[in-house]
Amino acid sequence: NAGVTQTPKFRVLKTGQSMTLLCAQDMNHEYMYWYRQDPGMGLRLIHYSVGEGTTAKGEVPDGYNVSRLKKQNFLLGLESAAPSQTSVYFCASSRSYYEKLFFGSGTQLSVL
């Protein structure tokens, strides 16, 4: 009963470093999403995918890249981290566009 699993749960980066956040779901969902959560701003969509091999930009895509090479995995990459990318990152998945989202437990990222 894993659902949506995010790794890592916490990470501290220095400005300019790169990293990849991994999201894995075991529900055979088509749709997967990456959101970031900042105080007073709710959750904002970074990138999303509507199926294996597809990706699309969300509301705040700059500075991030994603890949969906396997249906169950959705990777979020930061090529050159900036302090403005300090945030909590959530991955989510759903079977279809009208069904509820299942969320991971989040990744707290700090960029110094």
The residues that touch another protein, with contacts defined as CB under 8 A, are 31, 33, 35, 40-45, 48, 50, 56, 58-59, 88, 90, 92, 97-98, 100-101, 103, 105-106
The least distance separating another protein from the CB of residue 16, rounded to whole angstroms, comes to 28
Looking at the Cβ atoms of 6 and 85, the one nearer to another protein is 6
Query: In the chain, what is the greatest distance between 2 CA atoms, to the nearest angstrom?
Result: 39
C-alpha distances in Å from residue 59, one per residue of 10, 65, 82:
24, 13, 18
- Alpha-carbon gap, residue 18 to 2, rounded angstroms: 27
The least distance separating another protein from the CB of residue 54, rounded to whole angstroms, comes to 10
Looking at the Cβ atoms of 27 and 41, the one nearer to another protein is 41
